[in-house]
A and B are shown apart, each in its own frame.
Chain A
Amino acid sequence: MKIVVCVKQVPDTAAKVVVQNGQVTWGDAPLVLNPWDEYAVEAALQVGGDVTVITMGEQGGNEALKHSLAMGCNNAVLVSDPALASADSQATARVLAAAIQKIGDVDLVFFGKQAIDGDGGVTAAQTARVLGWPILSSAAGIEATDGRLKVDRSMEEGRQQVEAPLPAVVSVTKDVGEPRYPSFMGIRKASRAKIPTWSLADLGIDAPRAVVAWPEVSNPPVREVVCEIITGDSPEEIANTLADKILAEKVI
């Protein structure tokens, strides 16, 4: 089984992300493998086979790729090109699809649910659409045998069981199981790995036209609340006062 996992590097979830002088900044918080993508890597390693992790991003060290290798992926590829600086999701999907085709004979592509920076959640479906492969999204359980894929999908209303022929694209939920920790050996292997960089020329495509743009990013308005601490002589008294106060807000 030949598997590709598409991942992204993002600021850590605990980072205090703010806009300063028009620039998005997260101080000295580390860049990490997008938390949702950890589950995609985990799901890929559970299915097993030859697992290649790819990301599109800037030149230089890439923590998302390193962490994925340390978890157990066999290969990593960085797709990087100055012409991709303003790529939107559909442009990214077209580039990832080209990279998947360059890897060749891929059976299965994994994505996480969404990246915690842009919170778009569209790249998996778009990459599948560009490839013309089935997308089985929100996968909670995955079984791939004899050229067929069985997925247990977690939908708003319940669980849907679906099957599709390979090759296919899967996006996963946290239900696939807790991501494994990188082993000591894995970390050593990852730190020594020479990760190839592919440019658009290597992929044999022109930069796809970006159509979505972000003219302005800002800090959200400060939430002006003063917390009123409810006190009383007994839990019952506190509960009664609190219930009255909540009802007075007319939110029930």
Chain B
Amino acid sequence: MSGNVYVYIDQFKGQPLPTSWEAVGEARALADQLGGSVTALVAGQHVSEAAQQAIHYGADRVLVADSPVLADYRAEPYATVVANMAREADILLFPTTTRGRELAAMCAIDLNTGAITDVTAIELQDGQITATKPVYAGKLLSKVVCNARPQIVTLRSRAFPKPEADASRSGEIVPVEVGLSEDEIATKVTGYAEAEGGVSLTDAGIIVSGGRGVSNNPKLTPPDGMDEKEAEIWRARQGFKLVGELAEVLGAAVGASRAAVDAGYIPYAHQVGQTGKVVSPNLYIACGISGAIQHQAGMRTSKVIVAINKDPDAPIFKLARFGVVADLYDILPPLTQAFKERLGK
């Protein structure tokens, strides 16, 4: 039994996503248990910096596919290149990003094996991985095994520790022939628009979320001429402004409940829950969120949960470490101020 542990480095425009390093750290741990080695896989254009970093985070060797046809992410050429680089792998890890999940899925077909996605823990015995994976949006945990090789596993963001980078580590960087030309690739990228600023929910160490309750401030008088729905949304936007101000002081991402998204208060990209994003930050502050089972599924593994809600019977208090039974409009401005003072901002 051999210990060829491979790990894919997810990058965007040459910048590796930090969760890739968590995967490299886990690859290192598995390779050390097996007495094997870590091979990192980097695909893209102008990615030599990412390859060097992979060594600093624990890779012994990096296979680099650097080509203009990989400048933009496209599933087909990336999957072909990654699967070709991973033919010798016993274990192939990916970070669970949108791209990582998709490439893991497609490599499993190319390499005639299976993929286990979004795992939160790995046990290793005689070279066989037993992964723990939340299912039913975390209502249950499943042990999962893959009885073919390589064992392809994607690791949930923030579930595995990020190793310290060590700039003195050395390793081998091996360029790989891409062997694809642009006219062989069916999908063409015709445009790109960057998302609005702010911290992304998936990487966030702190999340401040708003729910239906953000629109309930009776003290606000909407401008004249608004109908009831417009006034409700106007009120909600004022509420989310308070949520955003606290988030900014904490360097946090802004989340929302499904109720707030469905009511049109905030775009879907912010939704936390079973049909939104599943997150696991160190600190989750829920403002005006009652804590429906679908919302809980998306945030219940957060380390410390704080609930601010005027309904003392709201289910969110059952998950919370700290609770405040009050209107969020009364609490959020002084709370933002309190953190400004304490964090020196």
Contacts and interface: CB of A to CB of B under 8 A. Distances in A.
B165 interface: no
B46 interface: no
B102 A18 contact: no
Interface residues of A, number: 81
Contact of B269 (A19, A154, A165): A154
Given A89-B105, A214-B142, A251-B283, A158 B193 contact: yes
Given A135-B76, A235-B330, A252-B283, A211 B146 contact: yes
A157 B294 CA distance: 25
B324 A229 contact: yes
Given A125-B102, A129-B110, A249-B304, A13 B143 contact: no
B317 A227 contact: yes
**Most chain B beta carbons < 10 A, residue from A35, A135, A219:** A135
A117 B323 contact: no
B114 A90 contact: yes
B162 interface: no
A212 B145 contact: yes
A164 B110 contact: no
B75 interface: yes
Given A220-B134, A236-B334, A119 B118 contact: yes
Contacts of A230: 322-324
A217 to B, nearest CB: 5
**Most chain B beta carbons < 10 A, residue from A122, A157, A161, A240:** A122
Contact of B98 (A116, A156, A251): A156
**Most chain B beta carbons < 10 A, residue from A129, A150, A219:** A129
Interface string A17-28: 111000010000
A240 B305 CA distance: 17
A11 B139 CA distance: 12
B189 A160 contact: yes
Contacts of A130: 109
Contact of A156 (B12, B133, B188, B282): B12
Contacts of A213: 144-145, 147
Nearest to A175: B268
A97 to B, nearest CB: 10
A216 B106 contact: no
Contact of B194 (A136, A157, A174, A175): A157
A202 interface: no
Contacts of A228: 321-323
Nearest to A130: B109
Interface residues of B, number: 94
Contacts of A136: 187
Contacts of A120: 115, 117
A18 B114 contact: no
Contacts of A210: 114
Nearest to B15: A157
A246 interface: yes
B236 to A, nearest CB: 18
A124 B75 CA distance: 12
Contact of A126 (B105, B130, B331): B105
Given A156-B202, A220-B138, 16 more contacts: A11-B136, A13-B294, A120-B117, A121-B101, A128-B106, A134-B75, A154-B269, A155-B98, A211-B147, A217-B141, A227-B307, A228-B321, A240-B334, A245-B322, A251-B205, A251-B304
Interface of A: 11, 13-14, 16-19, 24, 35-36, 88-90, 93, 116-126, 128-130, 134-138, 150, 154-165, 168, 173-175, 210-220, 223, 225, 227-230, 235-236, 238-240, 242-247, 249, 251-252
Which are the 10 A-B pairs with shortest beta-carbon distances? A122-B105, A239-B334, A161-B191, A212-B114, A243-B338, A251-B282, A125-B105, A211-B114, A211-B148, A129-B109
